[in-house]
Structures are given as C-alpha cells and as structure tokens.
Amino acid sequence: MKTNNFLASFLVSVLAVSFFTACEPTEVIHEMPAVSTGVFVLNSGKWKANNASLTYYDFATNFASADLFLDKNNRGLGDTGQDMIVYGSKLYIAVSTSSIIEVVNAKTGVSIKSIPMLNAAKEPVSPRSLTAANGKVNIVLFDGHVTQLDTTSLTLGTALAVGSNPDGSVIANNKLYVANTGGYNAVKDSTISVINLATFTEEKKITVNLNPQFLKADGYGDVYVISNGDYNLISGKFQRIEAGTNKVTDIAVKAKNFDILGDKLFIYNFDYDANWQATNKNITVYDVKNEKLITETLVTTAIDKTPYCINVNPTTKNIYLGVTDYKNNGKMYCFKEDGTLNFTFTTGLNPIKVVFITK
Amino acid sequence: MKTDSLHHINLHEVLVKGKQLQAVRAALPLQVISNKELKTLNAENVADVAKHFAGVTVKDYGGIGGLKTVSVRGMGAQHTGVSYDGMIMSDVQSGQIDLSQFTIENVANVSLSNGQPNSLLQPARMFGCSSMLSFSTEKVKYDSEKTLAGNISVKAGSFGMYNSLLYLSKNLSQKWNVNVSANALTANGEYKFMSNLNPLGKNWVEKNRINSDVHSLRTELNSTYQFNSYEYISLKFNQHYSERGLPGSDTYYLSYATERLLDKKYLAQFQYHNRKNCYYQYQFSGKFSNATMKFTETDPKFQTLINRTRIDNYVQSEYYLTTAFQFYPVEKLTFSTSFDWWYNNLFSDSNFGFRQYAAPTRHTGLANIAVKYSTNQLTLTANMLYTSTRETNQNETAAPDRNKLSPTVSLIYKPLENKELRVRVFYKNIYRLPTFNDLYYHDFGHTDLRPEITNQFNTGITYFNTNISFLSELECSLDAYYNRVTDKISVIYGIPFSSVRNIGRVDIKGCDVNFKISKEFNHKSTIRVNASYSYQLAQDYTLNTDTYLDIIPYTPVHSGSGSIAYQTGKWECGYNYLLSGKRFSGQNSNKLNLLKPYMDHSLFARISIKKFSLLAEIINLTNKNYEIVRFYPMPGRNYRFTINYKF
C-alpha cells in the first residue's frame, strides 16, 4: 500500500509539473489597420535579440500597431533596425546585425524583397544609413563602403570604398555626404566623404571633429554634423560644413541628435546623472538661415526615459521625439511646432527613426 | 568524555553511512549526487549533473563548448561558489565559473549546499557564498595486493565528439599515493536546429549551428601523503587548455560566427589536514592559479584592424592561503575559526580601440568564527564572517576599502528519538563583491559599486527510512524559502555607453522538494527513483520601474527533474528527464520575451563485463527543439557511446 502511495505521489508530481508547463494561452491576433495617412516608426530592438520592429501609427484611428512588419509577413524584421526611408511607394529598411535591406510596400507593409548585404566572401557588411535620389537608394555599409540599390530592378551596384566605419549620411548639393566614424579604431576617424552621385566616385574628404556620426542638410546646402569625440579627452561637437566653401564651423550648442525642417533645426540633448539616468532632457531650436539659437527649451512637458530619435513631419511640422529605457517598449511624443504636446503613442523597443506616409 | 571515542564515532559515521545521512542531517539544505547516481544521469559535464538539483537553474548556452553557469534559488550565478576537491575556484573578472569544462569522467560526487557547507572546519571562503556547488575527484583506496590502479575511457558521440580519459593511480607506499589523469575532448559541435522567425506565431526555418568546435586537454597530478589515519598532506597540479568557437546567438537572416576563445589555466595547490585530537583539529591550504584568455573576432567592420580581427587578451592570477582550527572545549560545544587571505590581479590588452583597459588588483581577507551546540536531537550552529578588501587600479581610481560582517544561524531538530525525521531552519546574510568587470570593465565601470546583498530564510523537513518492508531506502526533503537580493548590481544602458549601478531588489519565494527511493531485490537487482521539483517566484521589487513584480529573466517558476535507474547483474539502464516551465528572456514579462516550457528526456544502457563497461546514451530522445537561453538553441536528439576499462 505504502509503495503505491509513493509511486502515486511521484507520478502526481510529474503530472502536476507537466500540467503547469503545458498550458499555454493561445495568442489573440489583432487585425491590423490598412496603411493610410500616418507614421511608421522603426524600432531598433535590442542587439542580438532579433526584435527590430515596425510600428504604424494611424492618424485617422489614433491606433499604434505593435509590429506591422511581423503581422504582414509572418516574420520579424531581424536584428537591429538601423535606418528607414520612404522613397516612391516603398519603404527601405536597413537592419544592421542581420545585415539585410528590407524593401517593403509602403501602402501594405508587405515585404517586396529582402536583400542580404554580404561582401564577396559572404560576410555581413552591416547597412547603417540610407538616402535616395535619382531612382537609387544609397546604402552606407559599416565595413567602409557605400553601395547603391536600383529601385526598379532591386539589384545592387558595386560598392565604393569610403572611410572607416561610416555611419550617418545625407544628400546635399547633388552629392552624398558620409560620416566616417572610425568607431573601432584606436584613433577614430574625423572625415566626411563627399561622393559625386553622377559618377559615384569619392570627390574629397572634409575634416571635421573626431568621430562624426549624424548628418543633416538645410535648404541652403549647408551640412550639419554631430560628432562624438573620443568619449574621453576630446569631446563631441556640433558643426556646420558651409555649402560651396566646405568651411567647417563649430556651433556652440549641445546636441545629441537633430532634424531639420525649413529654416528650423530641432535638436534634442540630455545629460547623465549619478545614477546614469538621462536628465536635462529638452528640444532646442536653431535657425539655419541666420545661424543662431532661437529657443533653448522648446518643450515644457516632462519627458520620460531617454530620447532616442527626433524627426519632423514636413507636412504638419509636428516634431516626433522617440524615447527609450533600453529594456521595454518605447514611447513616441508628438509635439506641435510651438512645443506643446499633441499626442503620444507606444512604440517597440528603441524607436530609432520616424517616416511619414500620406495616402 | 574520552578523547578517542568521539573521534572514532565521527570517523565511523563518515565511512559507513555515507553521503545520504549527510543530506538528511544537514541544517543548511544539502543535495548530494553520489558516484553511483552520477553514472545514471546522462550527464556529460558537471553542469548536466547540477540540472538535477532542486532549486538550481543552469544557464546553458547549448552545445558542447557552450557556457554553462549555475544559479541557485533565483540569485544570480555570481552568488554560487564552485569548489573542486575542497578548494574554491575563482574568476575575479566575471565572477562565474563555466561548468562545461568539467566532464564527469573521474568525478566522485557532486553536491549543492544552500547557504554554505555544514562543516565547521573549512576555509572561511566556504562561508562566503550564497550557495556552494562542490565536486571532487575519485580517490583509490590503498590495496597492498594491487598498487597500480587506473581507468581508461573512450567516448564518442554526436557532433563529432571524442572524449578520452586516462587515469593512473600508484601507491608508492602505504602512505603515499600519486595519481595522474589526462582528459582530452574534441568536437566539431555542429548541429541543425529550427529557428522561429515569428516569435508570436510559427515560421520555422532550419539552420546550422556553426563555429562551435571545441578542443580541450586537462591534465592533473595529485600526490597525497597520509602520515596516519588522521593526518595528510596533498598536492595538486592542474593544467587546462581549451580552444573553442563561440557560435553566438542565432541572428535572423544571417549565418555568420567568428568569435573564438582560447583558455589556458594552471593551478597548484596544497592541503594539510590534521584531525588527530578531538579537542583540537586544524588544516592549512594554499593555492596559486593563473588563467589567460584570448578572445578573437573577425568581421568586415573591423576594417582597419590587422586581418580584420579584434583581439582581447586577459590574464588573471590568484594567490590564496587559508587556515582553519576547530576546538571542543566542553561537551556538546564546538568552536571553529578560520582565516583566509587572497590576492587577485587582472591584466588585459586589446587592439580594439573602443574602451579603456584597467589593471586592477584586490586583496581579500576573511575571518570567520563559528560555534555549534549539539545534542542527540538538536544542533544549533552560528557563524560570523568578517570580510575586508583593498583594491588598486594602477594610477586610476580603485574601489574603496570594504569591511563587512555577515552572519549565518541554523538549527536542526529531531523531534522523535527513533525516527530519522528532522526539522530545520536557517538564516544567512551574505553578499557578492562586484566583479572586476562590474567595477572596471563595463563601458563606464563604476568603482563606487557596493556588494550585492542576499538574505536567505529557509525552513524545511527531512526524512530518511531504511525500515520500510517493501523499500530498501527512502529519503526525502521539503524546504520552503524566502530570499531577498538588494543593492542588485545592474547594467544601466545608455548611448553610446552603458554603466553599472546598485539598483534593484529581487524577492524570491520558493520551495524545493527532493525524493529518492530505492529497492533491492534478492541482493541482485536494484531500482532507484529520484525526483526533484522546484517552485520559485523570483520577482523584481525595484520601485518606480515598468518591470515592478515582473519575473526575473531566466528563472522558471516551475522546474524539476527525475530519474529511474534499474540494475540487474551486469546490466544497468535508466531514464532521465529535465523539465522547465515558462521563463522570460528579458526584464519585462511580456509575450515577446516568453520562452516556452520544455521537457528533455534521455535514456541509457550499460553493460559491465569484468573490467570493461560499455555505455550507450540517447539524449533529448524526443528531439525537442528548445532554448534555455534565448537564441541559443539546444541540440536535438543526440547519442553517446562510452567504453571504459578499469583496473
């Protein structure tokens, strides 16, 4: 009798545990809205977590879908979303650790082609930033190259060597400016490669501060650069490369990242406190025509978490500020041009880029 | 009380009644897997064995060369001490020991102590961890007829795995034993796995685990001089070489892995034990260890580095001395005291210009006093550990001096004189020091980090019976516990750098159940059944966070293991299972971080003919595709065959 009890209790414990582990609630699938007028947010995800995602926020319904790409394609975007542009009817998404370019129908979210970014030896070359002009998407590759994707045939051209570990890029004066960070060097790079888009050759290198990363251009052909320095003795800077002369001027404004619309340059900045939390978070407005600071603190709303991206809607002039805590879903603030809060919505982890879709 | 009687009683117990009674008599929970049981667990290395302990979570990155660390009762792996042949192993850089490097060939037993081992006469360092995983090598008894004994074992298995062991033990005299062993392992480590491209649904693609080859050689020399039955000195020299690929996490849409790790480790140690006088016993030990590690990674993005390869080199050393004394001043009372000192240093260089490299050193001094009051039915133990550290970091800022006191108290009570039923309670307060990685090597190391503190409360019952008519032996235990981790050392992310701070609190409520029965039939056949089950609710209690009350990553609420082994004559066969409930891979307990439950079944059969034994094993019988660590797929069904010759 006792034996039976022991065996029974053994079996019961096995079964009980199996039960605890076997029950899984079935997932509820939400119907995604059709893409209309709204914004796409590329969420970088966490490195080595395969959780880059695409949030679609619809203006008509005020609904933010968690991951439109996953929903429409039955697969995730991959590892580390880096940049996204809308060009023509397509979205181009650079996923750097997975080393692919996703070409997506901007009206449906359905992938048209997934292009592996590999060199001749089949090694990943990690796409970092995207620009587009004349029917070509320029793809900056972290192995020191820039290549072009033909938007009709969706085939890649030959890669052009630039500096070391290039990151941000912008088109100005019919030229492609590429920031060579030299991020993995003992001594970082400090040049901007200027590429003639007609011939696809490097025309020159402009020397700026150490470790340049983000580039944007204004309507007058000036290119603005944020550099990081060496994180130790040489500090980062905000600089302008003057159109025509290529003269480099320091701008005495602290900047982590920025976007430009018309004559206004919107900058976000913050500092770290003793507990490594972002503090003094705000948006600064700079006038690119008169080259002067207009507003030091645009926003009165207290900003959560840590700013991660800023993009301005060219149609509505609303300012989108994405914030993150690097662990959980992010949050997108939409401010009006005057800095008042318009609305917020939830994004995926680490929102890195916002693009605007008009039907 | 006569001097010799007590001494004899102690010795008698240890030799005759063996390990099981140790476990049921332990005031701080102790789980022991004996040599006999070890051979029936389908285990390849010590980490596989540890998976069978209640309350243990093995973080297994999969594959033969994959990192395997042990955390106990919801506290991080850095809280678990690992001791090998009575001496704690250390890694001052990462604070954790990779158990994949210890194959079970030649291991005599593996045990897990919650809190600390129950012995009073041991190095102070043994009192200084939240829990202790111990394993020791087999020892050959002196036999005047046969002074040379040995063991040759050859193993072959899936993933191109070959493992051979040679062990030779020579008794140069009745007092002096010398033994040597060499253990070589090679494997290509490759296997197919399924990768799900849709974490919320199903979209499986088959991929290959690449860059997962392992080549290692461990050699060891032990020499023991036994002056007499109560006094010995032993020496150990150990060398370990390992070169392996790190397959890394599975990245969607990419198959590329070039990270490699080269380890070279040396160890020399001596131990002297004297148990002559029952009023006064003592021991001294010392150790020197050195470990070099070379990490390389080739990637097109390292375009300006030679061969596009990043190279990081680390060298760490430890010098360690310990002494312990035990006194019995009056009947029922035992006092012990132990003093440890050790010194660690770490040097590194890299061609990777991304971070600053430090060269820290640390002196650690420990002093422990312990007292035990014991009667036939009650044992009460208490100890107080004092820690003092001094650090330097060349000309840079070093961590401040630390001085800490940490108490432990325990009680075990046997209410009925003639029944092996016991009730036990313990409380322990201890900490883990920040590792050199935490202090000096994270992007922005933070030298003001305080130790991470754990408080453990445990209460339980144990029962042992050899007098059940239809069972030969029954052993079981049930413990409930409450642990609190405060000043948790957490990585705080930032762009472009992250940092480390003492932020966070974790509360863990749980219970561990262990159950062992065996039945002998006509002194010819034996059946043994073991089962363990753990419930642990490890939750984030950090205030003002989005993850308040979320489950701590990689701690399943439900987990368990079990085994059935049947032996008859020269045949032995058995079945093992491991199971784990759902877990979360991130701080946030949401569906995107959810890791599905799994159950892993294994079988073995062994035949022993004279001095030979042949073992065949099937691991992961159902070919279950699962992950313990997210995007580190575990191997599917695999096989091992072992031939062993013992003489």
Task: Give the CATH number of the domain where residue B99 resides.
Answer: 2.40.170.20
CB contact under 8 A, B492 and A18: no
Q: Which residues neighbour B477 within 8 Å (Cβ) at sequence distance 6 or greater?
A: B23, B24, B29, B460, B461, B462, B463, B512, B513, B514
Instruction: Give the chain B residue whose CA is nearest to the CA of A4.
Output: B470
Question: How far does A289 lie from chain B, in Å, by closest CA?
Answer: 31
CB contact under 8 A, A328 and B547: yes
The answer on pLDDT for A2 being more than 80 is no
For residue B189 the two structure tokens come to 């480590």
Q: Is B3 contained in some domain?
A: no
**Which of the pair, A272 or A75, is modelled with greater confidence?**
A75
Sequence letter at residue A191: T
Q: Is A37 on the interface with B (CB under 8 A)?
A: no
Q: Give me the pLDDT at residue B443, please.
A: 66
Q: Which residues neighbour A87 within 8 Å (Cβ) at sequence distance 6 or greater?
A: A132, A137, A151
Contacts with B, A 186-225, CB within 8 Å: 186-188
Q: Give me the pLDDT at residue B445, please.
A: 65
Residues of B in contact with A327 (CB under 8 A): 493, 546-547, 586-588
Q: Is B14 contained in some domain?
A: no
Q: Which CATH class is domain A15-161+252-357?
A: mainly beta
Question: How far does A237 lie from chain B, in Å, by closest CA?
Answer: 15
Q: Give me the pLDDT at residue B13, please.
A: 35
For the residues A309-316, what does the mean pLDDT come to? 96
Q: Give me the pLDDT at residue B6, please.
A: 38
Cβ atoms < 10 Å from Cβ of A35: 21
Domain boundaries, chain A: 15-161+252-357
In terms of Cβ atoms closer than 10 Å to its own Cβ (0-12, 13-18, 19+), residue B174 is exposed
CB contact under 8 A, A95 and B253: yes
Residues of B in contact with A142 (CB under 8 A): 300-301
Q: Work out how many domains chain B is built from and give that number.
A: 1
Please give the full DSSP string across B449-509, using - where no structure is assigned. Answer: PPPEEEEEEEEEEEEEES--TT-SEEEEEEEEEEEEEES-EEEE--SS--EEEE---EEEE
SS3 content of chain B, % helix, strand, coil (to 5): 10, 60, 35
For residue B320 the two structure tokens come to 């360690």
The answer on pLDDT for A215 being more than 90 is yes
B535-578 pLDDT, tens digit per residue, is 999 999 998 888 899 999 999 999 999 999 999 999 999 999 99
Report the candidate in B147, B152, B151, B146 with the shortest Cα–Cα distance to residue B178: B147
Q: Give me the pLDDT at residue A28, please.
A: 41
Contacts with B, A 78-107, CB within 8 Å: 78-79, 95, 97-100
Q: Give me the pLDDT at residue A285, please.
A: 97
Contacts with A, B 417-456, CB within 8 Å: 444
**Which of the pair, A321 or A276, is modelled with greater confidence?**
A321
Per cent of chain A over pLDDT 90 is: 81
Closest CB from B198, B310, B353 relative to A76 = B198
Q: Which residues neighbour A294 within 8 Å (Cβ) at sequence distance 6 or greater?
A: A264, A285, A286, A287
Q: Band the pLDDT of A10: cuts 50, 70, 90.
A: very low
Q: Is B548 on the interface with A (CB under 8 A)?
A: no
Residues of B in contact with A18 (CB under 8 A): 579, 599
- CA distances in angstroms from B420 to A342, B21, B22, B372, B414, listed in the order given: 71, 9, 12, 21, 7
Q: Is B473 contained in some domain?
A: yes
The answer on pLDDT for A110 being more than 70 is yes
SS3 content of chain A, % helix, strand, coil (to 5): 10, 45, 45
Residues of chain B with pLDDT under 50: 1-17, 19
Q: Give me the pLDDT at residue B17, please.
A: 44
The continuous run of DSSP H or E covering A7 comes out as: helix A2-22
Q: Give me the pLDDT at residue A33, please.
A: 64
For residue A43 the two structure tokens come to 């969420």
Q: What is the ipTM of this complex?
A: 0.90
Q: How far apart are CA B590 and CA B607, in angstroms?
A: 48
Contacts with B, A 278-317, CB within 8 Å: 278, 306, 308
- CA distances in angstroms from B596 to A238, B522, B532, listed in the order given: 47, 45, 20
DSSP class of A17: H
CB contact under 8 A, B631 and A48: yes
Q: Give me the pLDDT at residue B440, please.
A: 86
Q: Is B521 contained in some domain?
A: yes
CB contact under 8 A, B254 and A98: yes
For the residues A140-162, what does the mean pLDDT come to? 97
Residues of B in contact with A276 (CB under 8 A): 444, 492, 494, 498-499, 501
Q: Give me the pLDDT at residue B353, please.
A: 64
Q: How far apart are CA A272 and CA B362, in angstroms?
A: 29
Q: Is B529 on the interface with A (CB under 8 A)?
A: yes
The answer on pLDDT for A134 being more than 90 is yes
> Which of these ranges, A200-204, A352-356, B262-266, B546-550, has the smallest mean pLDDT?
B546-550
Q: How far apart are CA A93 and CA B254, in angstroms?
A: 16
For residue A352 the two structure tokens come to 């890195």
Q: Is A19 on the interface with B (CB under 8 A)?
A: no
Residues A129 and A117: beta-carbon distance below 8 Å: no
Q: Band the pLDDT of A198: cuts 50, 70, 90.
A: very high
Contacts with A, B 124-153, CB within 8 Å: none
Q: Give me the pLDDT at residue B499, please.
A: 84
Report the candidate in A42, A35, A41 with the shortest Cα–Cα distance to residue A58: A35
CB contact under 8 A, B251 and A14: no
Owning domain of residue B190: 22-646
CB contact under 8 A, A328 and B588: yes
Report the candidate in B132, B125, B131 with the shortest Cα–Cα distance to residue B323: B125
Q: Give me the pLDDT at residue B16, please.
A: 38
Q: Is B1 contained in some domain?
A: no
